[in-house]
Amino acid sequence: MMEVFSCAVCWEWLKDPRVLPCGHTFCFGCLSQMKSEPLACPLCRSPFPSPQGLPSNWLVLKWLSENPTKPDLPRALCENCEEARGARVWCERCETQYCEDCDAKVHSGKATQQHSRMSVKDKGKRIRFARCEVHQEDCKLHCRDCGHFICSGCKEDD
Protein backbone atom coordinates (compact mmCIF):
# COMPACT_ATOMS: atom_id res chain seq x y z
CA MET A 1 0.00 0.00 0.00
CA MET A 2 2.92 2.37 0.63
CA GLU A 3 3.68 2.59 -3.08
CA VAL A 4 0.26 4.23 -3.58
CA PHE A 5 1.36 7.12 -1.36
CA SER A 6 4.95 7.50 -2.54
CA CYS A 7 6.14 9.35 -5.63
CA ALA A 8 7.77 7.22 -8.34
CA VAL A 9 9.99 10.19 -9.29
CA CYS A 10 11.52 11.31 -5.97
CA TRP A 11 10.79 8.11 -3.98
CA GLU A 12 9.43 10.17 -1.06
CA TRP A 13 5.96 10.49 0.45
CA LEU A 14 3.76 12.41 -2.00
CA LYS A 15 3.85 16.18 -1.46
CA ASP A 16 0.97 18.14 -3.03
CA PRO A 17 -0.12 15.02 -4.98
CA ARG A 18 -1.49 15.69 -8.46
CA VAL A 19 -3.29 13.09 -10.54
CA LEU A 20 -2.56 12.86 -14.27
CA PRO A 21 -5.23 12.06 -16.89
CA CYS A 22 -3.78 8.52 -17.07
CA GLY A 23 -4.51 8.03 -13.34
CA HIS A 24 -0.92 8.08 -12.01
CA THR A 25 -0.11 10.45 -9.15
CA PHE A 26 3.12 12.40 -8.53
CA CYS A 27 4.33 15.31 -6.41
CA PHE A 28 3.44 18.67 -7.92
CA GLY A 29 7.09 19.72 -7.47
CA CYS A 30 8.39 16.68 -9.37
CA LEU A 31 5.98 17.31 -12.25
CA SER A 32 6.91 21.01 -12.33
CA GLN A 33 10.60 20.12 -12.77
CA MET A 34 9.96 18.12 -15.95
CA LYS A 35 11.50 19.76 -19.00
CA SER A 36 10.43 17.65 -21.98
CA GLU A 37 7.79 18.79 -24.45
CA PRO A 38 5.21 17.43 -24.65
CA LEU A 39 5.01 16.53 -20.98
CA ALA A 40 4.50 12.79 -20.47
CA CYS A 41 3.76 10.55 -17.50
CA PRO A 42 7.05 9.13 -16.13
CA LEU A 43 5.44 5.68 -15.82
CA CYS A 44 3.26 5.16 -18.90
CA ARG A 45 4.41 8.05 -21.15
CA SER A 46 0.84 9.35 -21.67
CA PRO A 47 0.93 13.07 -22.51
CA PHE A 48 -0.50 15.59 -20.05
CA PRO A 49 -0.95 19.38 -19.92
CA SER A 50 0.82 21.80 -17.60
CA PRO A 51 1.12 20.58 -13.97
CA GLN A 52 -0.61 23.78 -12.79
CA GLY A 53 -3.92 22.61 -14.25
CA LEU A 54 -3.82 19.10 -12.78
CA PRO A 55 -6.26 18.26 -9.97
CA SER A 56 -5.09 17.30 -6.49
CA ASN A 57 -5.43 13.66 -5.52
CA TRP A 58 -7.89 14.12 -2.63
CA LEU A 59 -7.83 10.46 -1.59
CA VAL A 60 -4.06 10.58 -1.09
CA LEU A 61 -4.26 13.97 0.68
CA LYS A 62 -6.91 12.58 3.05
CA TRP A 63 -4.83 9.51 3.93
CA LEU A 64 -1.65 11.55 4.43
CA SER A 65 -3.46 14.01 6.72
CA GLU A 66 -4.98 11.16 8.77
CA ASN A 67 -1.58 9.45 9.16
CA PRO A 68 0.84 12.16 10.32
CA THR A 69 3.38 9.61 11.58
CA LYS A 70 4.12 7.74 8.38
CA PRO A 71 6.41 4.69 8.41
CA ASP A 72 9.75 4.85 6.63
CA LEU A 73 9.46 4.10 2.95
CA PRO A 74 11.26 1.01 1.71
CA ARG A 75 14.64 2.03 0.35
CA ALA A 76 16.37 0.95 -2.80
CA LEU A 77 18.77 -1.91 -2.10
CA CYS A 78 22.16 -2.69 -3.61
CA GLU A 79 21.78 -5.24 -6.39
CA ASN A 80 25.37 -6.42 -6.07
CA CYS A 81 25.97 -7.40 -2.45
CA GLU A 82 24.18 -9.85 -0.20
CA GLU A 83 24.06 -7.57 2.85
CA ALA A 84 20.90 -5.64 1.86
CA ARG A 85 22.64 -2.27 2.07
CA GLY A 86 20.89 0.83 0.81
CA ALA A 87 21.71 1.68 -2.79
CA ARG A 88 23.17 5.13 -3.33
CA VAL A 89 24.49 4.97 -6.92
CA TRP A 90 22.90 3.95 -10.23
CA CYS A 91 25.23 2.92 -13.07
CA GLU A 92 23.62 3.55 -16.42
CA ARG A 93 26.02 1.27 -18.32
CA CYS A 94 25.63 -1.67 -15.90
CA GLU A 95 21.91 -0.91 -15.36
CA THR A 96 22.49 -1.70 -11.69
CA GLN A 97 22.12 0.15 -8.39
CA TYR A 98 25.01 -0.14 -5.91
CA CYS A 99 25.77 0.70 -2.30
CA GLU A 100 28.82 2.97 -1.92
CA ASP A 101 31.17 0.05 -1.15
CA CYS A 102 30.11 -2.04 -4.15
CA ASP A 103 30.20 0.99 -6.44
CA ALA A 104 33.80 1.66 -5.40
CA LYS A 105 34.78 -1.99 -5.99
CA VAL A 106 32.99 -2.42 -9.33
CA HIS A 107 34.11 0.92 -10.77
CA SER A 108 37.74 0.90 -9.62
CA GLY A 109 39.19 -0.61 -12.80
CA LYS A 110 40.07 1.25 -16.00
CA ALA A 111 37.31 -0.47 -17.97
CA THR A 112 34.54 0.69 -15.63
CA GLN A 113 35.79 4.04 -14.25
CA GLN A 114 34.19 5.97 -17.11
CA HIS A 115 30.71 4.49 -16.64
CA SER A 116 28.01 7.15 -16.32
CA ARG A 117 26.73 7.05 -12.72
CA MET A 118 24.27 9.11 -10.70
CA SER A 119 22.52 9.00 -7.34
CA VAL A 120 19.59 6.60 -7.06
CA LYS A 121 17.29 9.57 -6.30
CA ASP A 122 18.38 11.39 -9.46
CA LYS A 123 17.71 8.25 -11.49
CA GLY A 124 14.04 8.48 -10.54
CA LYS A 125 13.90 12.06 -11.83
CA ARG A 126 15.23 11.17 -15.28
CA ILE A 127 12.75 10.89 -18.07
CA ARG A 128 12.77 7.39 -19.51
CA PHE A 129 11.97 7.20 -23.19
CA ALA A 130 10.91 4.08 -25.04
CA ARG A 131 13.35 2.97 -27.76
CA CYS A 132 12.25 2.68 -31.37
CA GLU A 133 12.85 -0.89 -32.52
CA VAL A 134 13.30 0.23 -36.14
CA HIS A 135 15.69 3.20 -35.73
CA GLN A 136 17.20 2.46 -32.28
CA GLU A 137 16.46 6.04 -31.14
CA ASP A 138 14.56 7.43 -28.16
CA CYS A 139 10.87 8.04 -28.89
CA LYS A 140 10.68 11.69 -27.81
CA LEU A 141 8.07 13.03 -30.25
CA HIS A 142 4.30 12.72 -29.79
CA CYS A 143 2.40 11.95 -33.00
CA ARG A 144 -0.93 13.79 -33.12
CA ASP A 145 -2.29 11.40 -35.76
CA CYS A 146 -1.75 8.08 -33.97
CA GLY A 147 -1.33 9.32 -30.36
CA HIS A 148 1.92 7.38 -29.84
CA PHE A 149 5.45 8.54 -29.09
CA ILE A 150 7.76 8.19 -32.09
CA CYS A 151 11.44 8.82 -32.86
CA SER A 152 12.77 11.40 -35.34
CA GLY A 153 13.40 8.61 -37.86
CA CYS A 154 9.74 7.55 -37.78
CA LYS A 155 8.71 11.20 -38.26
CA GLU A 156 10.85 11.41 -41.41
CA ASP A 157 9.40 8.10 -42.69
CA ASP A 158 5.85 9.53 -42.65
Q: Is the backbone peptide bond immediately before 47 cis, with ω within 30 degrees of 0?
A: no
| CA–CA separation, 27 and 32 (whole Å) | 9
User: What residues make up the domain containing 106?
Assistant: 75-127
Question: Helix count (H) and strand count (E) of the chain?
Answer: 6, 7
Count how many domains the chain has. Answer: 3
58 shares a domain with 28: yes
93 shares a domain with 148: no
96 shares a domain with 142: no
| CA–CA separation, 78 and 133 (whole Å) | 30
Which DSSP helix (H) or strand (E) runs through 153?
helix 152-157
Q: Can you give the pLDDT of all 158 residues of the chain as single tens digits? A: 455 678 888 778 888 999 999 999 999 998 988 877 788 888 888 889 888 989 999 988 888 788 766 665 556 778 888 777 778 888 888 888 888 889 999 998 888 888 888 877 777 655 566 778 888 887 777 777 777 778 888 888 76
| CA–CA separation, 14 and 20 (whole Å) | 14
123 shares a domain with 142: no
Closest CA to 3 of 34, 25, 18, 23: 25
135 shares a domain with 97: no
8 shares a domain with 18: yes
